[in-house]
Amino acid sequence: MIYQVYPRSFQDSDGDGIGDLAGIRQRLDHLVALGVDALWLSPIFPSPMADFGYDVAEYRGVEPMFGDLAQFDALLADVHARGLKLMLDFVPNHTSTEHPWFLESRASRDNPKRDWYFWRDPKPAADGTPGPPNNWTSDMGGSAWQFDEATGQYYLHTFLKEQADLNWRNPEVRAAMMDVLRFWFDRGVDGFRIDVLWHCLKSQGLEDNPLNPAYRPGMGEKYLVLQHNSANQREIHELAGAFRSLADSYGDRLLVGEIFLPLEQLMTYYGSAEQPGVHLPFNFQLLETPWKADALAQAIATYEAALPQGGWPNWVMGSHDAPRIAGRLGEAQARNAAMLLLTLRGTPTLYQGDELGIGRVTIPPDRICDPQDLRQPGLGLGRDGARTPMAWDGTAYAGFSTIEPWLPLHADWRVRNVSRQEQEPGSMLGLYRRLLAARREHPALSHGEIVLLPYEPEVLRYERRAAGERLLVALNLSEQERLVDLPPGTSADLLVSTAGSPLFDGRLLPGEGVLLQLKEC
Ligand code: NOJ
């Protein structure tokens, strides 16, 4: 079970309205009480924060706003002392344009680091005026190329113009970045989440991408083209394999790849028996699948069937990039989402604040920070709503800080906070704790097989089975009461109800999910 910490918004220890490493240290008991196994920290490295840390200006240090290396070591020691693991965010596709490598590369056309990035001459557009070298689009809107007056060439940026893409075909880049991984592994870090892994290699010729026939205005400009040549090149698997070999050389370490691709292509990132890839290519399907029993059952079945031999599944229900699950589905279904996430087969990743059921947070226009939203306003692409501070208690600023935080708190923080929910067994936090405790107690949940049962209208049902144990999950996705059939020849004991029902009598309340222990009778 991985828990994603967004460091800016977890706990502020020095009163600047922004979270930091010392703050995370103060709150580790929350993670122990919750029952997670590992923390993944979004980037903590020195950064101008154009993309809130995903623009790294130095890979082997700590952003002063978050602390320093000594504080990092102290955090790591505390995490390990509690029996937890710590993962960092490795951002290989691009550096900040303030990284010394880029400053050198930009200095002149013949700088030894020129080829560490992608520099190309302008290409004449149809009307003869100079334009970008090809039609690739930035994930943040507009062209992926930025003209640099100093040397009269464009450089490539798949994300913001402040995030220049590294040229991973250059062996010096590769060696330098492998050293970055070694630096943190040597310090004792337990693994990495690898940012946009599928983007790291581009087609050697940098040819135009094909146009996307499904593009419609309002989708965001990154969808104008299909990323055939700018991402997901065959050679990426050799690179993923090299990351994996390095991780394996340190023993028990974990690599999670951030990859947004259709299922069949996603699966290739597990690698092969001869050349394993990352342990877990992130599976984001639950963020996109319609909240319907048939659609979810189909998504689970297709994913399970697509896994390669020995591939361990994983599920993600929220992140700093996605709308809050409780905002999307409402409180009752967010409880079902918790049960689904924690009872499916494989490693779940839980995003901070989802254990409180934080819903949609409206960010006043003058407080919008996310460059995605600022560059393409009005398309609903803003990510600030998922990045608001954790709420710890009912005191000023929810115990997160002593001053107004960098982003506003959710409106109901006075009641929706850790301290309050700890007192209420029926709270979302209580539910997460019970579900995580059940995962530890029942081998069927941690490593048993999954058997999808025919879905009843708006009720998703599946069994988890291990030697001598059968558990049934039934989630009522409707707003009406529903009857649930048990498998023939079984009766059931209730382990967890999302609605706090004391026992199971064959009915599910509107929006209720249950975890049942089956007994043969
Ligand atoms: C994915 C990260 O999750 C997102 O926050 C970031 O903007 C992009 N990668 C670029 O690094």
How would DSSP label each residue in 49-64? Answer: -TTTTSS-S-TTS--T
Q: What is the bridge-based pairing of β-strands 191-194 and 254-257?
A: parallel
Beta-carbon contacts of 498 under 8 Å, excluding residues fewer than 6 positions away, are: 332, 335, 336, 338, 339, 431, 511, 512, 513, 514
Distance CA(308)–CA(270), nearest Å, equals: 8
- CA R_g for the chain: 24
Distance CA(202)–CA(464), nearest Å, equals: 41
Query: Angle at the Cα of 47 (from 41 to 49), degrees rounded to 5?
Result: 85
- Tell me the two tokens of residue 426: 């029926």
Going from the Cα of 505 to the center of ligand 1, the distance in angstroms, rounded, reads: 46
Going from the Cα of 43 to the center of ligand 1, the distance in angstroms, rounded, reads: 10
If you take atom 8 of ligand 1, which residue's CA is the nearest one? 54
pLDDT in tens, 86-136: 999 999 999 999 999 999 999 999 999 999 999 999 999 889 999 999 999
Going from the Cα of 342 to the center of ligand 1, the distance in angstroms, rounded, reads: 25
Mean of the per-residue pLDDT values for the chain?
97
Residue 504 near residue 494 (C-beta atoms within 8 A): yes
Going from the Cα of 309 to the center of ligand 1, the distance in angstroms, rounded, reads: 30
Pocket of ligand 1 from Cβ distances under 6 Å? 51, 54, 91, 159, 195-196, 258, 320-321
Q: Which residue's entry shows tokens 């934080």?
A: 358
If you take atom 5 of ligand 1, which residue's CA is the nearest one? 321
**Of all atoms in ligand 1, which is nearest to the CA of residue 42?**
3
Q: Which residue's entry shows tokens 């922004």?
A: 18
The amino acid sitting at 202 is: K
Going from the Cα of 53 to the center of ligand 1, the distance in angstroms, rounded, reads: 9
Going from the Cα of 394 to the center of ligand 1, the distance in angstroms, rounded, reads: 32
Structure confidence at residue 256 (pLDDT) = 98
Going from the Cα of 463 to the center of ligand 1, the distance in angstroms, rounded, reads: 35
Q: How confident is the model at residue 413 (pLDDT cuts 50, 70, 90)?
A: very high
Over pLDDT 90: what percentage of the chain? 95
Going from the Cα of 195 to the center of ligand 1, the distance in angstroms, rounded, reads: 7
Is the pLDDT at 455 greater than 80? The verdict is: no
pLDDT in tens, 499-518: 999 999 999 999 999 999 99
Let me know how many helices (H) and strands (E) the chain has, helices first: 15, 22
Is the pLDDT at 415 greater than 80? The verdict is: yes
Structure confidence at residue 219 (pLDDT) = 87
Per-residue H/E/C for 163-224: EEEECCCCHHHHHHHHHHHHHHHHHCCCEEEECCHHHCCCCCCCCCCCECCCCCCCCCHHHH
Phi (first) and psi of residue 255, to 5 degrees: -120, 125
Is the pLDDT at 221 greater than 90? The verdict is: no
pLDDT in tens, 28-83: 999 999 999 999 999 999 999 999 999 999 999 999 999 999 999 999 999 999 99
Hey, what long-range contacts does 232-237 have (CB within 8 A, 24 or more apart)? 232/198, 232/261, 232/265, 233/201, 233/202, 233/203, 235/201, 236/197, 236/198, 236/200, 236/201, 237/268, 237/269, 237/271, 237/275, 237/277
The residue-averaged pLDDT of 419-446 equals 97
**Of all atoms in ligand 1, which is nearest to the CA of residue 258?**
1
Structure confidence at residue 378 (pLDDT) = 87
Structure confidence at residue 381 (pLDDT) = 87
The residue-averaged pLDDT of 166-174 equals 98
**Of all atoms in ligand 1, which is nearest to the CA of residue 372?**
7
pLDDT in tens, 282-296: 999 999 999 999 999
Q: Which residue's entry shows tokens 């087969």?
A: 345
Is the pLDDT at 376 greater than 90? The verdict is: no
Distance CA(508)–CA(293), nearest Å, equals: 15
Going from the Cα of 326 to the center of ligand 1, the distance in angstroms, rounded, reads: 22
DSSP state for residue 390 in the 8-state scheme: P
The residue-averaged pLDDT of 9-33 equals 98
If you take atom 3 of ligand 1, which residue's CA is the nearest one? 321
Structure confidence at residue 482 (pLDDT) = 96
Structure confidence at residue 239 (pLDDT) = 98
Give the three-class secondary structure for 313. Answer: coil
Is the pLDDT at 406 greater than 80? The verdict is: yes
Residues designated catalytic: 195, 258
From the CB of residue 86, how many other CB atoms can be counted at a distance below 10 Å? 23
**Of all atoms in ligand 1, which is nearest to the CA of residue 140?**
7
Structure confidence at residue 33 (pLDDT) = 98
Distance CA(436)–CA(426), nearest Å, equals: 15
